[in-house]
């Protein structure tokens, strides 16, 4: 990160105060944005929630809502200049980052900073930074922007491999190839999201994967206890904290997250995804400069949630200690669609066990096959017990959906 930017940020943080007219613009209003909106409201900020559809989760708990595509540079710049927010906090990847760079030059506070947002939303940029500049261990990979390049790449990267759009999130557009493809042209044509470029990665035979929530704040760096998680089609299914590992592996995880977050700079929380191999070695996978979906478990597993930590870091509020509160697990509530009316039943029965909780995000519709509509949390004597409790919560809930 530019040293002058670091100095400016440190000076800003030292002078920071909170007033009742301070405002934050959330660029993205999903469940993570909802958690952030609630955390910002704890300190009395005026919250503007932005997204490309109405009644998004964060809009339901914010002061104002703005409905527009954040890929529309004209509208994004116009809204920022009209509102003049004290903080601009991205929550999604679908943002015109050129506008963020422009606004940052005009003196607006983009968190953690425009460069970090731009690099982490682009698999080309973040992988080149991690592998080539920072020399972090990663899976084998190459990039393709045309059908011809994809054909060459599939001869370089051994199967099985995974193909991901350079610009996407939550597993959208990803495809695993376990056997050779007879008709690559058909594969390419059937995946429109690939046409802006893809990364082809050799599938890693890892032992497990973890998220390391890493907070850069005015007093230094705070790394939370590892969060284990499982995914399906690139989307979070279950997470648990802490995920136990050897001292040596934990130290390597901490080394990697320190290196990459120091390079990206700024203040706020980063969700760093890592693969841990069977021999205990660690590979960098991805990073988000914001709260992470697997980190929602911190609502029950820590004294300060990932949302509280992000907001404290942004506002320059001290983070004296992050306490992990024992074995905890979370699991996504997935509802099949399409639908736009929902009825959640038997919640009382589902939450009859001690140390259980359910958050329903308030999403208004499902336009595709399925959507994450909530998350269940539980504490237990062990991680295994906590996992069993969240399974029972979701087994007991009956969801009716209608069009």
pLDDT tens track for 250-264:
999 999 999 999 999
Categorize the per-residue pLDDT at 366 as very low, low, confident or very high, splitting at 50, 70 and 90: confident
Q: Select the CATH number that applies to the domain covering 3-110 from these four: 3.90.420.10, 1.10.3720.10, 3.30.830.10, 3.40.50.20.
A: 3.40.50.20
Q: How far apart are CA 130 and CA 137, in angstroms?
A: 8
Across the strands, what pairs with 223? 214
Omega cis (within 30) before 36: no
Mean pLDDT in residue range 266-279: 98
Nearest Cα neighbor of 290 from 7, 39, 16, 11 is: 39
The two tokens of residue 219 are 């007093």
Domain parsing of the chain, residue ranges:
3-110, 140-202, 327-403
Band (168; pLDDT cuts 50, 70, 90): confident
Residue with tokens 């595709």: 368
Count CB atoms within 10 A of the CB of residue 354: 9
> Which pLDDT score, from 0 to 100, does residue 171 have?
64
The residue count for the chain: 403
pLDDT of residue 175: 87
> Which has more pLDDT, 11 or 180?
180
Q: What is the tens place of the pLDDT at every residue in 88-138?
A: 999 999 999 999 999 999 999 999 999 999 999 999 999 999 999 999 999
54-70: average pLDDT: 97
Task: Please give the order of strands across the beta sheet that includes 198-202.
Answer: 141-144, 198-202, 161-165, 175-177
> What is residue 87's DSSP assignment?
E
Is this structure's pTM higher than 0.95? no
d(CA 179, CA 346): 44
Domain 327-403: which CATH class? alpha beta
In angstroms, what CA-CA distances link 124 with 115, 116, 131, 144, 277?
Answer: 14, 13, 11, 10, 23
| pLDDT higher than threshold 60 for residue 9 | no
Angstrom distance (rounded) from CA 57 to CA 34: 6
Q: What pLDDT, on the 0 to 100 scale, is given for residue 396?
A: 96
Neighbours of 140 (CB within 10 A): 14
Whether residue 266 is predicted with pLDDT greater than 80 in this model: the reply is: yes
Active-site residue set = 169, 171, 273, 286, 293-294, 372
pLDDT of amino acid 85: 98
User: What's the pLDDT at 235?
Assistant: 80
With a cut of 70, say whether residue 388 has pLDDT above it: yes
Highest mean pLDDT among 25-29, 333-337, 396-400: 25-29
The three-class DSSP label of residue 321 is: coil
What CATH number has the domain spanning 140-202? 3.30.1490.20
DSSP symbol at 50: E
Question: CA 123 to CA 87: how far, in whole Å?
Answer: 26
């Amino acid at each position: 990160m530019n040293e002058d930017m670091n100095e400016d940020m440190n000076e800003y943080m030292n002078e920071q105060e909170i007033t009742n007219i301070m405002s934050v613009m959330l660029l993205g209003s999903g469940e993570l944005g909802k958690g952030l909106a609630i955390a910002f409201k704890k300190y009395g900020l005026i919250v503007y929630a932005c997204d490309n559809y109405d009644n998004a989760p964060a809009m339901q708990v914010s002061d104002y809502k703005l409905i527009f595509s954040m890929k529309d540079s004209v509208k994004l710049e116009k809204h920022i200049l009209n509102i003049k927010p004290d903080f601009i906090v991205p929550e999604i990847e679908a943002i015109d980052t050129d506008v963020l760079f422009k606004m940052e030059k005009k003196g607006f506070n983009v968190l953690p900073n425009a460069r970090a947002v731009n690099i982490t939303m682009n698999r080309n940029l973040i992988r080149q930074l991690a592998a080539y500049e920072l020399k972090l261990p990663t899976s084998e990979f190459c990039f393709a922007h045309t059908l011809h390049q994809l054909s060459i790449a599939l001869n370089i990267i051994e199967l099985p491999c995974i193909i991901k759009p350079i610009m996407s999130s939550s597993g959208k557009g990803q495809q695993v190839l376990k056997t050779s493809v007879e008709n690559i042209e058909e594969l390419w044509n059937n995946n429109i999201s690939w046409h802006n470029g893809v990364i082809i990665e050799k599938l890693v035979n890892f032992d497990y994967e973890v998220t390391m929530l890493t907070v850069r704040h005015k007093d230094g760096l705070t790394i939370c206890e590892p969060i284990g998680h499982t995914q399906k089609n690139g989307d979070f299914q279950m997470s648990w904290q802490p995920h136990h590992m050897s001292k040596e592996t934990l130290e390597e995880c901490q080394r990697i997250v320190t290196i990459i977050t120091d390079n990206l700079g700024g203040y706020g929380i980063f969700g760093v995804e890592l693969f841990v191999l069977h021999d205990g070695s660690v590979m960098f996978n991805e990073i988000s400069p914001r709260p992470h979906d697997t980190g929602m478990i911190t609502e029950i597993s820590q004294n300060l949630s990932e949302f509280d930590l992000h907001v404290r870091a942004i506002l320059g509020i001290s983070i004296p200690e992050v306490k992990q509160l024992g074995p905890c697990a979370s699991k996504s509530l997935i509802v099949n669609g399409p639908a736009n009316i929902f009825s959640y039943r038997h919640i009382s029965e589902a939450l009859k066990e001690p140390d259980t909780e359910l958050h329903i995000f308030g999403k208004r519709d499902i336009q595709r096959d399925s959507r994450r509509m909530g998350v269940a949390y539980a504490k237990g004597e062990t991680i295994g017990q906590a996992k069993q409790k969240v399974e029972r919560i979701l087994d007991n809930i009956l969801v009716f959906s209608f069009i």
